Amino acid sequence: MLKKFFHQFASPKSYFRIATKIQNPFLLIFVLLYVFALAWGLLFTPEDYIQGNSYRIIFMHVPASFVSQILFLIMAFCSVIFLVWRLKLSIYVAKSIAPIGAAVTFFALFSGSIWGIPTWGTWWQWDARITSTLILLIMYLGLISLHSSFNNYEKADRFFAIIVLAGVINIPIIKKSVDWWSTLHQSASITLTDAPSIDPLMLAPLFLSIFSFFGLIMGIVILSSRYEILLREQSKSWVKSL
């Protein structure tokens, strides 16, 4: 009974119907929240006593870096569900995340490069954090290319899920790179075990920017996954009736 309920809830048709209802208000709420967070961080927080105003890019760079990794973890979670329970919706969502993850990761690298020019005196350095994040971008792009190279969706989905699970090892490497190797990046200013080392006046808009950017990206994932469902389920009668 539970398995039947779970499969019914996770059907592409049910998901599409729910996603259609929540997509626009979801996106609107988080777009407004993110704009508010950016305005708060860029215009109303004090200067950093070391970096001056250049630090303000954290309100764009840190959310992008965080979300780029979270998206890959979500892909890995969806891949496990697909490989274990063969739920088509999970691989649809995972595949729809890949191009969004690539874009977010590129933005994380790009904004970090802008930050690096005044902070380190260079826009690029082959340090552990930057290199492992670049690998993450390559993995996203590779997954997109891998899936599109197959004519058979079943094989493409299976290989996609397996490669995602193999690549997830890079996420803890990105996270711990500043602790395991000597890098230009400072250690984490926010941890679960210690009090944050950031001024509360900067911390509050930073938390809001991370939260709202994550919500915004998840709204885009909902939009992208709806398109993926229409593409993959186009032969079904319920799609033809739309």
Q: Is the pLDDT of residue 3 over 90?
A: no
Q: Is the pLDDT of residue 205 over 80?
A: yes
pTM over 0.95: no
> Which residues make Cβ contacts (< 8 Å) with residue 152, sequence separation at least 6?
none
CA–CA gap between residue 85 and residue 97 (Å, rounded): 20
Q: Is the pLDDT of residue 2 over 50?
A: no
The kind and range of the H/E element at 183 are none
Domain range list for the chain: 20-240
Average pLDDT of the residues of the chain: 91
Cβ distance 201 to 44 under 8 Å?
no
Percent of the chain clearing pLDDT 90 (strictly above): 77
Q: Is 52 helix (H, G, I), strand (E, B) or coil?
A: strand
The string of pLDDT tens digits covering residues 86-112 is: 999 999 999 999 999 999 999 999 999
CA–CA gap between residue 184 and residue 64 (Å, rounded): 19
Cβ distance 97 to 148 under 8 Å?
no
The string of pLDDT tens digits covering residues 125-165 is: 898 999 999 999 999 999 999 999 999 999 999 999 999 99
CA–CA gap between residue 112 and residue 20 (Å, rounded): 35
> Which residues make Cβ contacts (< 8 Å) with residue 155, sequence separation at least 6?
none
The string of pLDDT tens digits covering residues 17-64 is: 999 999 999 999 999 999 999 999 999 999 988 888 989 999 999 999
